[in-house]
Every structure is written in structure tokens, then in C-alpha cells.
Amino acid sequence: MSPSGVSRPAKPKTVFDRDAEWDALVAFAGDTRPGPGLGVVSGRLRQGKTYLLKALSAALGGFYFGAQSAAQAESLRRFADELSQYTGTRPPSPWRGWEDAVDALLALGDRQPVPIVIDEFPDLVRQSPSLPSAIYSAYRRLRETGNDSRARLVLSGGALPVMHRLFSAASPLRELTDLELTLSPLDYRQAARLWHIDDPGLALLVHAVVGGTPAYWGYAGERAPGGPGDFDAWVCRTVLNPRTPLFLEAHHLLQEETDHWDRALCHSALAAVASGCSTQGEIAERLGAPLTDAARWLALLQDNGLLYGEPDAFRPNLIRLRITEPLLAFEHAAVWTCRSALEQQDADEIWRHIRPVFDSAVVGPHFAQICRDWVVDFADPAVFGAHPATAAHGSLLDPARSAGPNAQAEVAEVVVRGPTDTRPSALLSVGVARWDQVMDLHHLEQLRHLLELLAAQGEDVTHTRPACYSGVGFTSALRAAEASGHVVLVDLDRLYRGR
């Protein structure tokens, strides 16, 4: 119920999931308290922001305006025409600028709460840099004069750096904001439901290609593979088919997200990360570029939400980068080098050639990330003895093996830490993730050795639980160790259905 006691409209059946987001938007838009409200909706491209906001406007009788790249005068004309159609009145006299337009918008809430959506707001700001100031001035004027306008203005956009700058702590608009909502990709369980996939192994493979971006369900013709045996053919007829939208989607996504940057360098940086380079130094070396230049490109990719950096679980000063959009990882790890050939040769033959690369460079790391997501989002706190706060990749040098140029680190793909005010936080679990291996006791011994190394460095491992994550299963000996309480085992069925 809203503050006035009026029931809220149910989410349309055509909107998949997004229950919490819908409830937050409806509560904001229907708030009957006097004074104008300001909401902000952001998120990467293709996540369904426009679809959700159009549904909100339709359900509550609100006004929706989708901005386009145009001159300011053209945008104002479009805006005036659409506003007059909404109100059923004659078009207003030519506005002097966005100041007049904002005043006309906020007047829509004079009688009752009404949602007013300006979608792709960053496009308007590029045309009219003074627009944020016009909105701020209008809100301050209404609030200082005690105006009872109940306009509920929602500003939305997918250009993350612009949205972050416009609504950062230093921005005047921030103090006016009543709602901040970010639409993230669907999690891997939600994505499986969207694609109507019951088999967890198949669901993970599809997620490793298209992730949780809702739009890609439509791009693939709203058809998932018919079963595990149809996955290869599905890849060939969708992502690798030049006649489908998914074929060039990774290219378009990078082009739209990165705007005017040097896209060749962005592609090369993403290819380096997809090949296994995870630190700035490794990526700079792979590109043959100065570290300062590489750091700048990588920071831009992070600002746009295409890369994500997090501290190594055992060496917090070491920041590891990963590609956030699975389709970009799939493209740059497996498809990038043979893209031109796909327009001339049979996709089945090319896919047979690159499928091993997909399995090792794409699915393996993706499986590890899904395991980390399971820990934080779905695992019962009892599994690790406390509620997990973080799950990250960890690497530690073994003094006995760290000498010489070929020194290797001991790696744990799933390091779980609990919430605490101290640093480092409590180490709840260390785990290894193997997508394509039946795991045995030697994996448990590997984890025990890692725990010994950590204890020698002063880490408290008294209550740390070893964990093995496998895409194909565990031996009977390892299952027996699980029954004795010596290890936590997580398979695909548990990842998708269990806690």
C-alpha cells in the first residue's frame, strides 16, 4: 500500500522478474506526500530499463519521453509535441529552453502523484549541459515556496560514467534524489528461468555465452538449446550466425558503451583479460604498452561497467580484473581471432576448432565465478559457519616453490570471508573450482596444504572449511570425506537448486 492507502498496480506479466525494482518504482511514483520527487534509474545497456519504465508509465498513467541524439531545438520540439499529446492540449508556445520544459513537466503533478520518465537522460545532457542545473533550480524553487506538486520525475540512462557524474556526492542533484535504482543483469538462476532451461549444466553453458542480459533472450529468437546435445548447434545458429542480432552484439555493445574512445585498444585490453591476464601489469605487458596507458584504458572500461576489479583474497594490494559481460568474454576469448572467417566459412567447422578454447578460457573461469556468486547469494550461512560477506579468487606463493623465474602460486578460486570490522576478515572457507574434472582426495590435500601456508603466514584457519566445486562430480572417497565433515562439496545441482 502507498502512504495514502491506495493499492499499488501489480507488475505486468510481460515484465520478467524485477519484483523488487517494480515495487520500489511504484512506491516512489505513487507517494502522495506533497513536494516533487526525483528518482534515478541506471544500469548497463540491454538490462530492460526502458521496458520497465514504459510499463510503469502505462500502469500509472504517467508520461514517458525517450531522448535521442539530436540538437537541443529538435529535442525540445519533440518533447513539447509528446507532452501536448499526453495532456490533450495544444502545443505550448516555443520554449526558451529546458527551464520552461522542466516547469511544464513538474506542473503535471499539481493534482496527484504522477510518474514522469525521461529515458536516456545522458543524451539530453550532452545536447544541453545546463539541463541538470535547470532541474535543480526548479526543484529548489518548488520546495522553498512550499509548492504541493507531486510530480515524480524519473531520470534514466545507460551511460554509466555520465550517470555517476550527474548524481555523485558532489552533484547538486544528489541532495534532491529520493530513489536510486540500478538494474543489474539477472543472476544465473534467474537467467535459467528466463531461458526456460532446467538442466543446470546446459544453463551454465548458455550463461557463459549470453549471461543474464534480458535482451539477449529476444535476440536469440526466444529460443534456448533444445537440450545439452543441442548446445553446439544453438551457438552456431545464434551467436556465430551473421544473420542474427547476436552475431555483432559484442561489437555494438563495446561501440555504444565506449563512445569515442580508441576501440581497438579496448578490444585488445578485453582480449588480454579474456586470455587470462588479470592484473594491470600483465595486461600492459601483453599489449606492449606503458603501464600508465594501460591503466587509463582499463579505468575507462571499469567506469563503464565492462570490467570489474577486486582485491586478491590473500594479497589485497593485488587487484584482479574480470570481464563483467559474458558475451564480451566469449567474443574476445573464443571468437575474436576468427570473426572474419565466420562470414565466409561454415560456422560448425569453426566452432569445432574453437570449442576447446571456449571450454578452458571461457567456461572454466565462468564456472568459478558462478561458484563465488552462489556463496554470496544463495549458500546457507550454516555451510560456512557464518554469513559470507565476500567470495574472491586468491593466490599465495609457496616458499618451497617460489624460487626462480617459473615460480607458481597456490590458487584457490573461491575464498570466502565473513563480515567483521577487523582486517583481514574471518576466513570461512578456501575452495577450488573445476568445471571439467571429477574431483578427488588430492584436491582436498591441495586445500589442506594451502591452509598450512596461510597458517604459517599468521592467518587464523582454525574454523576454515575446505570446499570443492565441480561441474562433473566427485569420487566416492571425496563424498565420504564430506560425510565426515572434512570438506564442503558443491555440484551443479546445488549451484542451481540448493543451499
pLDDT tens-digit profile of 164-179? 899 988 888 999 999 9
State the Cα–Cα distance between residues 431 and 474, nearest whole angstrom.
14
Q: Distance between CA 267 and CA 20 in Å, rounded? A: 35
CA dihedral of residues 18, 20, 26, 32 (deg, nearest 10): -170
Report how far residue 357's alpha carbon sits from residue 348's, in angstroms, rounded to the nearest whole number.
Answer: 15
Answer yes or no: are the C-beta atoms of 324 and 333 closer than 8 Å: no
Cβ proximity of 223 and 251 under 8 Å: no
The percent of residues in the chain predicted with pLDDT above 90, rounded, is 80
Beta bridge partners of 182: 42
* Cis peptide, bond prior to residue 185, ω within 30 of zero: no
Give the pLDDT confidence score for residue 5 in this predicted structure: 40
For residue 263, the model assigns a pLDDT of 76
User: What phi and psi values does residue 291 have, to the nearest 5 degrees?
Assistant: -60, -35
In this structure, the strands spanning 427-434 and 409-417 are antiparallel
pTM of the model: 0.92
The low-confidence residues of the chain, meaning pLDDT below 70, are: 1-7, 258-261, 402-407, 421-424
Q: Could you tell me the CA-to-CA distances from 373 to 87, 187, 279, 362 in Å, in that order?
A: 47, 9, 21, 16
pLDDT of res. 406: 56
- Note the pLDDT of residue 90: 85
The pLDDT value given to residue 2: 43
